[in-house]
Amino acid sequence: MDPYLVVFAASAAVSFVATPLVRWLSVRLGWIDHPSDRKVHPRPTPTAGGIAIFLGIAAGLGVSRLIPFLAGLHETTSDPTTALLAGFVILVVGLIDDARGLSALGKLAGQVLAAGLLVLLGVQLLYFYFPGQGILFLSTDLAVPLTVLWVVAMVNAVNLIDGLDGLAAGMVAIGAIAFFAYLYRSGGGANPSTAALLSAVVAGAAIGFLPWNFHPAKVFMGDSGAMLLGLMMAVASISGVGRNTYAPSGGDFAAVAIPVAVPLLVLAVPFLDVLLAVVRRMRRGLGITHADKEHIHHRLLDIGHSHRQAVFLMYLWSALISGCALAVAFINGRLLVAAIVAGAVLLASVLPRLVRDRSPGRSDRAGPVDQVTPPEPVGPTAGPPGRPEPVPVPAPEPATSPIEDTA
């Protein structure tokens, strides 16, 4: 059996089994996410599911030490251990936010702390491929801030899309699987790869958590889980892209999709949501950390999609963009790649308008067809048009006391 499949299965199994235990713990400790104006869930729900995701990731990395093909990675690089340590730091920061709440500045400080720990222990961007210039070596003055910025951006991108049941877990799983396919196809299948290992572990942990988190969610991952998944994806992309000293190979069109763009395309929907949110809030004179209900998934609900339809459409968009990224990177022939991208864009644009929830009382707003006007009364005593005539109610007869009846 493929060693990556083994660690994927181990992460998924542990995450799946641990999630109900974490839910029970959250209920006992009072870690409950209550409904509010900027949230869409209608009832209080246990949170802190990031603990189960962390246990799944830790289990997958632990199993990898027992597999001969992957065991050598832990001897030649400290990236898996460093990722787990930084993941624990971001998990604690997220748990504090889930349990007590943190200010935006406090949360950012925790994210920078985790990113700084990665840099301190050697996980940072070292190389960058630029078409026409080849491999560029990044100096420390440039590598450190770029690494911190990339980690913080990835963490917040995943955190911002965690607005609907199952959305963040599913989209991260799709992105991790697509990035794993890119790495595996690029040589990770023949040689052990830290980035491929982390992608497989993250995908397994997210998928194992998803059955408990899908609508209607029994438990939320919280900021602890969303920021953890974002950090692990950031480390995977840094290990797989920022340390690759080889230029892209393949067809002539593959050079356009430089390796550093692949993780951007794989997680294009979260990054686009972040960009739109920042621009929207700056135009209104609000802080970029000001919460609102105008993210992409909220707009899908507003135009008439049910909760599950909105989530599946976001899944579809992520899968289409990820597939296009892989097609651009590995398929020879500009016309074929252009046809694939055009078809994906057309499908992503048309499908949301065709698939909508039409059941009354769900996501659709009441329209002229849904409104039923009561019949107007007929006769000389009819009231104003559109108002039914009140029906007179006879006055009740005075009741007699049983004691008086027997007197």
| pLDDT (0 to 100) of residue 116 | 95
User: Which of 45-54, 252-261, 290-299, 315-324 is least confident?
Assistant: 252-261
Where are the domains positioned within the chain?
A: 3-251
Decide if pLDDT at 115 tops 90: yes
For the chain, percent of residues with pLDDT exceeding 70: 61
Structure confidence by residue, pLDDT tens digits, 84-111: 999 999 999 999 998 888 888 999 999 9
| pTM flag (> 0.85) | no
User: Which of 32-46, 142-156, 239-253, 331-345 is least confident?
Assistant: 239-253
Summarize the confidence of residues 12-36 as an average pLDDT: 92
Question: Is-contact 73 201, C-beta < 8 A?
Answer: no
Residue with more model confidence, 74 or 56: 56
